[in-house]
Amino acid sequence: MKKNIVLEAHSIFKSFYNPVRVDILKDVSFSLNRGEFTSIVGRSGSGKSTLLYILSTMDTDFTGELIVDGSSVHTKTEKELAAIRNEKIGFVFQFHYLLNEFSALKNVMLPGFKLNKVSQEELEHNAYAFLKDLGIEKLANTMAYKLSGGEKQRVAIARAMINDPLIIMCDEPTGNLDSKNADIVFNIFKELTQTYNKTLLMVTHDLDFAEKTDRIIELDDGKIVRI
């Protein structure tokens, strides 16, 4: 059972000093198992986004321990953390954040460039396959800025998938989409956990969506109130 834990957080505290001390997270501890679809919910300002950025290893300014795939992030250098993000964590953001200078296909391939484990041809083939799964293979060579919001978000999901990560983290992935596109994106996530057996962690304020996930972690004022 221990083997299936991909991410562990032990009593994470985080404060901002701006200019007085504000505690954002207080003693947050939980663990995520492989294949789980977990959502983090909470009111605005409850610290759920902050928690996600800590879990994503981008924010290392906290106390407590975070263990990703068996190793603590506090012992890693910036370069090693970047490598962890590249290989083990996929991201989907609220604002789609594609690189406008590249085509949809190149955007999907970017994390693969960094990982550099497969040849460019193979990478391109994989990226195309993901786009096809998401139903936007026709847009592969369209420049990113020409895509609609829903299309961008699907490209972003394909990008998160390209390096076959352990865990995919999403920050309000449906927050900026109309309900039709939001449903499409949510169903894709559901499918990812079922078909690809991916671990998903989603921050959302949409309780309807959260109810449909396997597990809900609720934050209130920096503390976990439901797990």
| Residue labelled with tokens 């956990």 | 193
Q: Measured from the CB atom, is 205 or 212 closer to another protein?
A: 205
CB-nearer residue toward another protein: 120 or 194: 120
d(Cα 167, Cα 128) in Å, to the nearest integer?
Answer: 21
Binding region for another protein (CB under 8 A) out of 2-10, 31-39, 87-95, 207-215: 87-95
**Is residue 102 at the binding interface for another protein, with CB under 8 A as the rule?**
yes
Q: Considering only residues 1-60, where is the footprint of another protein by CB under 8 A?
A: 49, 53, 56, 58-59
194: CB partners within 8 A, 6+ apart:
none
Beta sheet of 21-33, edge-to-edge order: 21-33, 5-17, 63-68, 71-72
Provide the minimum distance between the beta carbon of 132 and another protein in the complex, in angstroms, as a whole number. Answer: 21
Residues contacting 123, CB < 8 A, separation 6+? 109, 112, 113, 162
Q: Does 128 bind another protein (CB under 8 A)?
A: no
What Å distances lie between residue 95 and 100, 101, 152, CA to CA? 13, 17, 9
Q: Does 83 bind another protein (CB under 8 A)?
A: yes
Q: Which residues bind another protein (CB under 8 A)?
A: 49, 53, 56, 58-59, 78-79, 82-87, 89, 91, 93-95, 97-102, 106, 110-111, 113-116, 159, 163, 171
